[in-house]
Amino acid sequence: MRLLCRISYWLVALVLLALILVSLDYTVPQAILISLAFGPCALALEFLIPKARKTMDKVYLSLAMLVTVFLLILILHDFVWVKITPEGYPMQGKDVPAMLINPVFLALILMVLAIGDYFWARWIGKRFKDEDRSVTFFSDRKSVTLRRSEIAYIESNDTEVRIVATSGESHRNKTGIGQWENLLGDGFLRIHRSYLVNADLATLSTPDTVTVGETQLPVSRKYKEAVQNALTPPQP
């Protein structure tokens, strides 16, 4: 159901974008084809930006996706007018509409698609909540499947994360901790820019530390209030 909802979001988003392109003198099939240029770039932004540690890395990634979607539009535009131009249109080509080469418009569309998908994913995660669903990921080129309840905490180490299981085993993965937070949803608590813990397994040792199993993890100032509210039992 979650996957179906995500697919539905992108279908609706790209159809709405295609309707905008129809107003630029494209036919519906042409508009749909060109709108597909935005999907991969928006998804790349959504998944890569949280992995970038430095602000300039985020800027470079954003510019790279902007240039990519610009080039894809040029290629697809040329294709639709040369290859699938309907009868009655000149075959010698047509200029790309000014809106589609406007970097502000392109950036706005990419941002709306990426942010919309992020919040949609969070909503369906809460709507179709499955506390002990399985999570499959790749570690050292091998597929690993764990239930959410089997994940003790996740530690971010610059270019990769370490998924620590309740069994004591740990697995390396390239997905950013922000994406893991979104994937695991409620029940997992961010306590530090480098740590995401299973709230059911975590106890507040001190105002600055959380214990998961036999491991003590630091709580940063940014997350201290939220951690205390989540892990401190209410006073009688």
pLDDT in tens, 102-161: 999 999 999 999 899 888 877 776 666 555 578 888 998 889 999 888 999 999 987 899
DSSP designation for 23: T
Contacts of 182 (CB under 8 A, 6+ apart): 118, 121, 122, 125
Mean of pLDDT values over 70-86:
74
Query: What number does CATH give the domain 134-231?
Result: 2.40.50.1020
3 state SS of 226: helix
Residue 140 φ/ψ region, left for φ over 0, alpha for ψ in the -120 to 50 degree band, beta for the rest: left
The CA distance from 27 to 3, in Å, is 30
- Report the interhelical angle of 177-184 vs 103-127 (nearest 10°): 40
Looking at residue 173, its pLDDT comes to 92
pLDDT score of 71 more than 70: yes
Looking at residue 86, its pLDDT comes to 52
Looking at residue 171, its pLDDT comes to 94
Structural domain boundaries in the chain: 2-127, 134-231
Looking at residue 6, its pLDDT comes to 80
Beta strands in the chain (DSSP E): 134-139, 142-147, 151-157, 160-165, 170-173, 188-192, 195-198, 202-206, 209-212, 215-218
Percent of the chain with pLDDT over 70: 86
3 state SS of 86: coil
